[in-house]
Amino acid sequence: MIRNTLFLMTLILPILISCEEKQGEIPKKPSVKYSVIQKDSIIDEVMKVAAKTTLNSQRRRDVLDSAITIHSTIAYFYQQRSMPLYKQDKDELGLPFLEKAAELNPEKYLDYMAFMKCIFSKNYKEAIIDFEKYLDLYGDGYVMDHTYYFYIGISYLQLNQFEKAKSFLEKSTHQAEKESGREWIHYLDLMYLGIANMELANYEIAISNFDESLLQYENFSDVKYYKAICLYALGKNEEGGIVILEARNDFLNGNTINEDNVFYERYPYQIRKSWFGLH
């Protein structure tokens, strides 16, 4: 145990010194392969130091840069280095770190990189490529609470390839239904599937998708907004007028897309207050 601790401290101490005394760059060391226990211990020690700083501070960047210099094969440090940059809309600076994380540990970070390209960078073509690569390598899965098909689907929506969007969003709902039952299909899957059908002028089907979404999130203003559009398209103006007023009131009460990352980025088709004549 003492031996392991001494080994760990020889790896961590230069990071602590670089943070406290600003002694300049640490010489790059040859790549090292760590056991799972060693890697977890190193990450824990480095992140204890990082936790004493603020997310976007130069001090935190220094901690992680030192960790990357010494432990160049640990993907987690690259991911942590990239994430605050994306949250500051500095995607171009964050991408090289994220690409390195995905290169070192594709099973853990390739899907995460695809998510960041889709939601943060709006680089939909590359997001699709990365998600499809992940599906080929590792199969179905989830990132940030949604299936890979979900993100591919909304990427195709943003590329105006609506048939492909519908196909992948249907795959997403089928995956959730197969795994957990129809009631566990996420209301965002149903919203975007409805939007794909709306864009294809399948208005009745879209309304059915929207109604199923509203069973889970009854005050979802975005869904009501697009449902109203479909009702108007079908000539149901009175009903559409009622629904659009509901959408406006729900929006004013904060009932919109509530994903965690909405704090940083707008989601595709997320409604705006100006659409209701609000300023």
- Cα dist. 176→27, 55, 74, 120, 182 in Å? 49, 34, 33, 24, 7
Taking each helix axis from N to C end, the angle separating 124-138 and 148-158, rounded to the nearest 10 degrees, works out to 160
The residues facing 146 across adjacent strands are: 143
Given this model, what pLDDT does residue 183 score?
86
For the chain, give the percent of residues with pLDDT over 90: 82
pLDDT beyond 70 at 22: no
Task: Report if residue 129 sits inside a domain.
Answer: no
Q: What is the pLDDT of residues 66-111, one digit of tens each?
A: 999 999 999 999 999 999 999 999 999 999 999 999 999 999 999 9
Task: Report if residue 134 sits inside a domain.
Answer: no
pLDDT beyond 50 at 19: no
Return d(Cα 180, Cα 12) in angstroms, integer: 44
Return d(Cα 158, Cα 126) in angstroms, integer: 13
Q: What is the pLDDT of residues 221-251, one digit of tens each?
A: 999 999 999 999 999 999 999 999 999 999 9
- Give the CATH number of the domain where residue 163 resides: 1.25.40.10
At 146, give phi and psi (nearest 5°).
Answer: -130, 155
The total number of structural domains in the chain stands at 1
Domain of 249, in residue numbers: 140-279
Helices (H), the chain: 2-21, 36-50, 58-70, 75-87, 91-104, 106-115, 124-138, 148-158, 162-180, 187-199, 203-216, 221-233, 237-252
Mean pLDDT of 255-267: 94
Q: What is the pLDDT of residues 112-160, one digit of tens each?
A: 999 999 999 999 999 999 999 999 999 999 999 999 999 999 999 999 9
Task: Report if residue 271 sits inside a domain.
Answer: yes
Unique residue bearing structure tokens 């492909």: 164
Task: Report if residue 269 sits inside a domain.
Answer: yes
The rounded mean pLDDT for the chain is 90
Q: Binning pLDDT at 50, 70 and 90, where does residue 217 land?
A: very high
pLDDT beyond 60 at 257: yes
pTM above 0.75, yes or no: yes
Q: Binning pLDDT at 50, 70 and 90, where does residue 9 land?
A: very low
Measured in residues, the chain has a length of 279
- Pick 10 or 125 by higher pLDDT: 125
Of 206, 259, 209, 251, which is closest to residue 231 (Cα–Cα)? 206
Show the tokens assigned to 186.
Answer: 């996420």
